[in-house]
């Protein structure tokens, strides 16, 4: 309770907490004897504190398998989300499981923004958020929105490969979402931000400017991914969907996010 109630960005010297928090997390990974809220609170405390450092050290999260652990927790919590979907009228207010689930998504967003080391667990991590995004679509608006914000955060970080987002079905899920007739402004905003970043990532050079033997290989891989995404968007009618949002972009900029591009071409990936 104390860990979860401390102000989110209250800075504490890492020497005071780092080893002890890591031991708590490792202990639970071995014994599985903490409550969901207690375990999530330990991770939240660690990530928010370390996110305040000028140099975010991924080694702690690689060692503790943060992506794998979140994926496992979200999978478990999704069962309660589905239960609530079937019995919403009986339950009424949000369950404690939904609260913990939302908190996992919030710290996942911070992790996606700050991580710098690629991890082989990323694809499963992305897949778990995509699953939650789809599962919460019609009945848990805040969780649904936080999923798209977390996915958007991942697109802005070069440590998260576009290939990981493709393999994790994030692009498919957001593409499907943008065609829904009941799409609200917040989700529209999140979808447009997601695709704007994907487009930017595929148009720019994602490797170092200095020439080396890997440049051609990386460029070939980037072109392959661009072509696959382009064909997927074209097949699903993405180019027809995006211009329909053009008149909304000014409103979205005023109320949700001030940096959406007014140039429709910024949302398209050219093969």
pLDDT per residue as tens digits for the range 41-86: 999 999 988 888 766 777 788 899 999 999 999 999 988 876 655 5
Q: Are residues 107 and 127 in the same domain?
A: yes
Q: In the 8-state DSSP scheme, what is residue 226?
A: H
pLDDT for 209: 41
Q: Are residues 43 and 103 in the same domain?
A: yes
Kindly state whether residue 212 falls inside one of the protein's structural domains.
no
pLDDT higher than threshold 50 for residue 4: yes
pLDDT for 207: 41
The domain total for the chain is 2
- Domain holding 236, by residue range, is 178-205+218-271
The 10s digit of each residue's pLDDT in 209-237 is 444 556 777 788 888 999 999 999 999 99
Q: Are residues 104 and 191 in the same domain?
A: no
pLDDT higher than threshold 80 for residue 256: no
CA neighbor of 200 nearest in space, from 150, 156, 139:
156
pLDDT for 219: 82
Q: Are residues 9 and 133 in the same domain?
A: yes
The 10s digit of each residue's pLDDT in 163-174 is 999 999 999 999
For the chain, helix, strand, coil in percent to 5 are 70, 0, 30
pLDDT higher than threshold 60 for residue 88: no
Query: DSSP letter string over 47-73?
Result: HHHHHTSSS--THHHHHHTHHHHHHHH
pLDDT higher than threshold 90 for residue 191: yes
The CA-based angle 134-140-267, given to 5 degrees, is 50
């Amino acid at each position: 309770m104390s860990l979860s109630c401390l102000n989110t960005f209250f800075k504490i010297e890492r020497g005071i907490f780092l080893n002890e928090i890591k031991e708590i997390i490792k202990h639970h990974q071995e014994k599985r004897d903490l409550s969901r809220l207690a375990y999530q609170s330990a991770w939240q405390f660690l990530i928010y504190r370390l996110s305040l450092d000028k140099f975010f050290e991924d080694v702690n999260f690689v060692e503790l398998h943060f992506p794998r652990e979140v994926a496992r927790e979200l999978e478990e919590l999704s069962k309660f989300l589905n239960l609530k979907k079937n019995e919403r009228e009986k339950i009424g207010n949000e369950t404690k499981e939904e609260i913990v689930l939302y908190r996992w998504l919030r710290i996942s967003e911070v992790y996606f923004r700050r991580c710098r080391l690629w991890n082989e667990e990323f694809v499963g991590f992305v897949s778990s958020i995509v699953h939650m995004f789809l599962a919460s679509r019609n009945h848990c608006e805040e969780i649904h929105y936080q999923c798209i914000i977390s996915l958007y955060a991942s697109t802005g970080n070069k440590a998260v490969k576009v290939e990981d987002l493709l393999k994790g079905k994030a692009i498919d899920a957001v593409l499907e979402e943008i065609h829904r007739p009941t799409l609200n402004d917040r989700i529209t905003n999140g979808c447009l931000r997601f695709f704007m970043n994907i487009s930017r990532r595929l148009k720019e050079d994602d490797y170092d400017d200095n020439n080396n033997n890997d440049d051609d290989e990386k460029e070939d891989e980037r072109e392959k991914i661009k072509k696959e995404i382009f064909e997927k968007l074209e097949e699903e009618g993405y180019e027809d969907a995006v211009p329909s949002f053009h008149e909304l972009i000014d409103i979205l900029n005023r109320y949700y996010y001030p940096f959406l591009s007014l140039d429709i071409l910024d949302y398209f990936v050219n093969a």
